[in-house]
Chain A
Amino acid sequence: MSKKLISLLVVIGLCAVSGGAQDLALKGGTVITVSKGEIPKGTVVIQKGRITAVGSDVAIPSGVKVIDVSGKYVMPGLIDSHSHIALADINEATDPVTPQIWMWEALEPDSDAIRKTLAGGVTTIKTMHGSANVIGGVNVTIKLKYGAPVEEMMVQGVRQQLKMALGENPKRVYGSKGRSPSTRMGNAHSARKAFIEAQEYKAKWDKYEKERSEGKKDLTPPKKDLKLETLKMVLEKKISVDCHTYRADEIVWIINFCREFGIDLLQLSHCVDGYKVADVIAEAGVSFGGWVDWWGFKEESYDGCPFGFTIMNDAGVNIVINSDSADEGRYLYMNAAKVLKYNELTQNEVLKMITLNAAVSLEMEDRVGSLDVGKDGDIAVFDKHPLDSTTKCVMTIIEGRVYFDHAEESVTVEGGAQ
């Protein structure tokens, strides 16, 4: 094989790994970095999918395609840390403990919901198992690269999160079948029993691996158990946890539970009562990941309170606004604006809730969530300020590639469907 051919193959290989990463410069818009304030008439340069320059006086390297976004607003791509889109299946509702389920195996890269969500400026989502089970499946964090192979959509090198769920949903699903859990006590027992078994399973495997590394002969490996294999990874902190909660008591319960078992709890999803125990959440370093004004749709959601953001912000909680919905995932920026209606917070604090704070909840703050050199070139362009409720997203870019362009997809342009 010639050297030329080998280098060509290497280039092709790199392209495949980088998922269609491209060079692109956005010039002339108001750049909302989220991390370092706003830059009027700023420029963002993306090369090989990464941001290489952000500023008001930036030279654009030759050969880089330039889009003039004068008069528009350029911000980091929005992040939805609780979604269920782009999945063929959501709930393995046949057993209260199903950690053998991996949601990436249900991913549908050509799901139309991806396109509709891209139109709201969203670039990264965590798409999740449902809430039927106390321990559900392993969620998957993806970039919304519509139509790309699953491996390219999935964010590599980041810990995935196991879905857990407390409260009424598992109670209803199994209680209605005459099975346990049908109470919160039963929920707690399901989780505790599973992780105690996982501790025992891990001890067996640790012993086996240790003896093998010491060169001991004639060893029989312990029997593989796919459920416990995942939970063992949780105990080893190779997988973290996102737990669906509503009531304050169960928020405190899961924080204590995870502490007891040495589990990394990263996000409390929905967390409707979060403001009541904001101090506890802040101290545990867990993210609140919920809605702004949804409430009262079932008994445990009655104390939902849009004024609670002030309490959580004062306590130092990492606040994330997410959707849990194919509908609301399309206008996270409007939901962010509502926070300002009910709370005295700054615009940047609120923008963080749909970008950088969400990145923190996904342990991706080094890669996405703000417009900083070295981060992924994931960008949403709006025609007005993103917290102006009469704004619209006009362009969504992932790693330098345009995945949504209002000028091509709107019903108002010629050839658009009506």
Chain B
Amino acid sequence: MKKHAVWGFILFLLTAGVIFSQGTILIKNGTVVTVSGSSLRNGCVLIRDGKIADVGKDISAPAGARIIDAGGGFIYPGMIAPFTALGLTGYPGAGNDTNETGTSTPHMDPFDAFNPEDECIEVARIDGITTALTVSGSRNALSGGALVMNLKGDLADDMVMKKHAAMVFNMGAKVSGKYPSTLPGVNALIRDKLNQARRYADRTSRSLKKDKNAEPIARSLEMEALIPVLEKKIPAIFVTMNEVTIRGALRIIDEYDLKGILFANGGILKYADRLAAEKIPVIWSGTMTIPRRWEAYDLNYHTAAVLQKKGVLFAFNESAGGPGSRNVRRQPVPAAMSVAHGLSEDAAVKALTINPARILGISDRVGSLEKGKAADIFICSGNILQLSSKVTAVIINGKEIPMTSVQTRLRDKFAPLVRERRARK
């Protein structure tokens, strides 16, 4: 009995030690890319209770702190992917839950389908993606809701940073053989729904005030989902793919006085001045879009540099086709290509970190290495704009995540099998 008590005490000490050391981490010996200010060569980041406690040149390790040596590499704020389907996709059999049937599905909330076991989450985060916007889809004119998730957690509730973070519209969502089958049809459908929602909101508020003349209203979840968009409580992301759809989006943003964000994969340069003046941010998804026959080969490679010069707030997105999940880890690819074609490295890193944070309204919590922000950090053997650089550690909310994914497990399973067979021959 006494023996058990001693062992119990030792176990308690060990556990307490682990818990304590998990709370405090000092990262040292790396170039700290703060993003908010200038970078610190041979700098340190101190993490306490999930938050960044200090950033500086010489920080001594508090007692019990775990020390991570960055090995002369780079320390970055976690990357933020601004338009993904992470959590809605997964291993075969797990299903794909993007894009509900219909042309108007604003009441679709991706939180209702978010699967923390989606293999794509691990694949993205071991390459330094720590936060993502997950959208319910982008195929329908009124596609649905979106939520901001941090990419660590066993339960969806633990991962949510922002529910009802945005509403997604697709300006090119024509349907073959049905209404809307043309782009003006898409515009009209969106206007119709926004008009209905405005009337619904008006009637609901009158009804709440017990206006005698108010008619009883049947609840509509579809309409309810659009009200925060009209009230500018959440931004409206408009998926666009060319000049016509951008124009449509800008008109609707203007007509309904919305907090608009453009998701663009082409045709954006003509509007750069206006976007800057009206402070409409862009999720720029078109860096790798192949220019049209009459356009220069590097038109899209060069676009980010122009957006930067004109003062448009933009974030990179790797998947031009819409929300992706498999290769969210490719976020640095368009950034590197844009730097090759005139964008500054600083601006490119911002467009992977603080810019998406600002666009998604979470820049007070993530997107840079500043005191008080969430400790979402990755360490990289080199500059993240070099696609050859290895991500060596990832920390989300102050916790180191295991550097494993379905792909490291496949490697660890098959490398010895192949080696054994070769040895036998």
| Segment at the interface with B among A140-148, A157-165, A213-221, A335-343 | A335-343
Instruction: Say whether A373 faces chain B, with CB atoms less than 8 Å apart.
Output: no
Q: Give the segment of A73-81, A172-180, A299-307, A354-362 that binds chain B.
A: A299-307
B178, CB-defined interface residue at 8 Å: no
Q: Are B387 and A315 in contact (CB under 8 A)?
A: no
**Complex Cα gap A331–B332 (Å):** 14
Q: Are B411 and A296 in contact (CB under 8 A)?
A: no
Q: Do A294 and B327 contact each other (CB < 8 Å), given the known contacts A119-B298, A341-B389?
A: yes
Within 8 Å by CB of B296, from A279, A296, A416, lies A416
| Nearest CB on B from A33, distance (A) | 21
Interface residues in A237-261 (C-beta closer than 8 Å to B): none
A340 near B388: Cβ-Cβ < 8 Å: yes
Instruction: Tell me if A337 and B386 are in contact (CB < 8 A).
Output: yes
B 128-168 binary contact with A (CB < 8 Å = 1; else 0): 00000000000000000000000000000000000000000
Please name all residues of chain B whose beta carbon is closer than 8 Å to the beta carbon of A307 when the two chains form the complex. 407-408, 410-411
A387 interface residue (CB < 8 Å to B)? yes
By a CB distance below 8 angstroms, the chain A residues around B299 are: 411, 417-418
- Which of A296, A330, A388 has a CB less than 8 Å from the CB of B326? A296
Stretch in A57-65, A199-207, A225-233, A270-278 touching the partner: A270-278
Whether A341 pairs with B388 at a CB distance below 8 angstroms is yes
Assess the A411–B302 pair: CB atoms within 8 A: yes
B411 and A331 within 8 A (CB): no
- A417 and B296 in contact (CB under 8 A), knowing A389-B385, A390-B340? yes
Which residues of chain A are near B290, meaning CB under 8 Å?
113, 116, 326-327, 330
Closest-CB distance, B96 to chain A (whole angstroms):
11
Question: B residues 110-129 with Cβ under 8 Å of A?
Answer: 119-120
Contact of B410 with A310 in the complex, beta carbons under 8 Å: no
Which chain B residues numbered 318 to 347 have a C-beta less than 8 Å away from chain A?
325-327, 329-330, 332-333, 336-337, 339-342, 345
Select the residue from B120, B330, B414, B425 with max chain A CB neighbours within 10 A: B414
**Contact, CB under 8 Å: A331 / B337:** yes
Question: Are A295 and B407 within 8 A (Cβ)?
Answer: yes
Cα–Cα distance between A239 and B420 once the two chains are bound (Å) = 35
Q: By the criterion CB–CB under 8 Å, are A334 and B387 in contact?
A: yes
Least CB separation from B92: chain A residue: A299
Decide: A390 near B385, CB < 8 A? Known: A307-B407, A315-B422: yes
User: Does residue A197 face the partner (Cβ distance < 8 Å to B)?
Assistant: no
Partner of B388, one of A304, A337, A392: A337
A279 to B332 alpha-carbon distance, docked (Å): 33
Question: By the criterion CB–CB under 8 Å, are B336 and A390 in contact?
Answer: yes
**Is the CB of B210 closer than 8 A to any CB of chain A?**
no
Measured between beta carbons, the chain B residues less than 8 angstroms from A311 are 411, 414-415, 418
Contacts of B294 on A, CB cut-off 8 Å?
A: 417
User: A119, A295, A302, A308: which contacts B297 (Cβ < 8 A)?
Assistant: A119
Q: For residue B310, which residues in chain A have a CB less than 8 angstroms away from its CB?
A: none
**Contact A116 B418, beta carbon cutoff 8 Å:** no
On chain B, the residues within 8 Å of A327 by CB distance are 288, 290
Q: A112-B293, A302-B92, A341-B390 are in contact. Are A279 and B422 (CB under 8 A)?
A: yes
Q: Which residues on the B side are within 8 Å of A387 (C-beta)?
A: 388
CB pair A392–B341 under 8 Å, yes or no, is: yes
Q: Report chain B residues within 8 Å CB of A341.
A: 387-390
* Cα distance A306–B345 in the bound complex, in angstroms: 26
Q: A276-B418, A295-B327 are in contact. List 16 more A-B contacts (CB 8 A).
A: A113-B290, A116-B297, A119-B297, A283-B425, A296-B89, A296-B325, A310-B415, A311-B414, A327-B288, A340-B388, A341-B389, A390-B386, A410-B297, A411-B299, A412-B342, A417-B295
A–B complex contacts, Cβ < 8 Å, 29 sampled: A119-B297, A275-B411, A276-B418, A278-B418, A283-B425, A293-B329, A294-B327, A295-B407, A296-B89, A296-B119, A299-B92, A302-B91, A305-B410, A307-B407, A307-B410, A307-B411, A314-B419, A326-B290, A387-B388, A389-B332, A389-B386, A390-B336, A392-B298, A392-B301, A392-B341, A406-B298, A410-B296, A416-B296, A417-B294
Query: Which residue numbers of A lie inside 8 Å of B, CB to CB?
Result: 112-113, 115-116, 119, 275-279, 283, 293-297, 299, 302-308, 310-311, 314-315, 326-327, 330-331, 334, 337-338, 340-342, 387-392, 406, 409-412, 416-418
